Amino acid sequence: MSIALGCIADDFTGASDLAAILARSGHQVGLRIGVPPADDDSPPAPFEVIALKCRTEPVDEAIAVTQKAADWLMARGAGQLYWKYCSTFDSTPDGNIGPVSEALMARLGTKQSIYCPAFPENRRSIYMGNLFVGDVPLDESPMRDHPLTPMRDANLMRLLAPQVEGKVGHIAWPEIAKGATHIAGQLRALAYNGVQHIVPDAISQADLAAISEAVQDFKLITGGSALALDLPRLLAAKGSVAETGGEITAPATAAGNIVLSGSCSAMTRAQVADYCASAASFRLDPLALADGPDALAEARQWLAAQDLKAAKIIYATAEPADVAAAQEQLGRDKAGQVVEDALAALAGDAFGHGVRRFVVAGGETSGAVTQALATDRLSVGREVAPGVPWCFAERGGETFAITLKSGNFGTEDFFTRALEMLG
Ligand code: ADP
């Protein structure tokens, strides 16, 4: 079997989000953690998603690793690539959304792509080029204070322009509303004028359906996960993948569980507060972690003493003022790193104690935890919330379940709800 759509995601929660959306079609979706070795001979699924951790890497490194991922996918038949980033366009003026797109476009020999992070089911919409989170523009949302990629503008064209060399353009909602054929015409007109990077407005899933139909033959599509929802159907209509309506099945896992949270996003803060009301909890302090080995040792001891099957959470989740204070003392990267390293080490310990159900909150955090569990391939199960599936993997001959929740996804009771789903 060869790959019909090869996907590259800039973080792990984003990858599982995209995999979940594609899996709704009933098709087999492979989720790879990092770029598999070139000689990997596991049979590829028609939809393969490679999870990277390159959202905040230096631009050159992000380009190098995404090129490697593209090579792996293209060597297995993928002629079309999907570059997945966050529905809140998490990036900085340097990148990495734009530079990676341009490098992938060059690799694929194409001169135009679209940038569509809209995810209406999770209340991310684009109107007149401005990205809204719920009722407010991106720069008035909690993303304003993100520890790594604070978003201080809502206009996607303005955010993208400094990241790319080519011209940036826009298709406004009244044009989108005229449907796929009209949008395709607009894209051709923009291409004629040398406009390579197009932001289409999208406020509903119907808008996304029309856009995906218009770009279904693009060699590179970029966006959030919701734009991909109709691609399996469109590819099936062209005969690139078989028609299917398969049921998603989940393997059984032992009941030991833990919630690990390194996300400081507003929704995660509410979720952590909700869970702490009924679960045993341990808070990690980045300043103490940076101070020496004692803080981690204390967390390890606490974890070792917990009842395996009882609800428990370890979190570094904190209010913006506390995050700012930690960053001021340690620097942004160091503050993030000590927390990620600690949660990764604790995930490994938890597995050793028999935990087989992991709920992880935070994109960067999920990358650190998944890598610590040394998992290179996950299968994708049912969604706990839109874009957040349970995934299943093997470690040392044992099956474990892991769900990777991006900061602002899910409702307040997400952690309880996720664990209840596994019975
Ligand atoms: P989200 O999905 O909400 O963006 P991430 O895990 O991607 O969450 O990013 C949160 C970052 O903040 C991580 O690098 C994490 O280690 C860091 N972090 C977590 N808690 C704190 C804290 N109390 N102070 C400073 N940084 C923190």
Q: What is the identity of the amino acid at 408? A: N
Q: Sign of the C-alpha dihedral, residues 295, 338, 151, 224?
A: negative
Read off the pLDDT of each residue in 289-316 and give the average, rounded to a whole number.
Answer: 97
- pTM value is 0.88
> What was the pLDDT predicted at 245?
61
pLDDT of res. 148: 85
Question: Who's near 167: CB < 8 A, 6+ residues apart?
Answer: 193, 194, 195, 196, 197
What is the rounded average pLDDT of the residues 320-333?
96
The answer, yes or no, to whether any atom of ligand 1 lies below 6 A from the CB of 262, is yes
Q: If you average pLDDT over residues 298-305, what whole number do you get?
A: 98
Do 79 and 5 meet the contact criterion of CB atoms below 8 Å apart?
no
Which whole number is the average pLDDT over 27-49? 92
Q: Does any ligand 1 atom lie closer than 6 A to the CB of residue 69?
A: no
pLDDT in tens, 157-167: 999 999 999 99
Q: What pLDDT does 408 receive?
A: 84
318 pLDDT more than 70: yes
Which residue has a Cα nearest atom 19 of ligand 1?
Answer: 262
Looking at residue 191, its pLDDT comes to 98
Cβ(142) – ligand 1 distance below 6 Å: no
**DSSP SS3 for 402:** strand
Give the pLDDT mean for 400-408: 92
| Among the ranges given (163-167, 216-220, 287-291, 371-375), the one the predictor scored with the smallest mean pLDDT | 371-375
Q: Please name the helix (run of DSSP H) or strand (run of DSSP E) that holds residue 76, with its range, or none.
A: none
Measured CA to CA, the distance from residue 371 to residue 348 in angstroms comes to 10
171: confidence class by pLDDT, cuts 50, 70, 90: very high
Task: Quote the mean pLDDT of the chain.
Answer: 95
Ligand 1 atom closest to the CA of 337, numbered from 1: 16
Question: Domains in the chain, start-ordered, CATH in brackets?
Answer: 5-237 (3.40.50.10840), 257-421 (3.40.980.20)
Residues 40-60 pLDDT 10s: 988 899 999 999 989 999 999
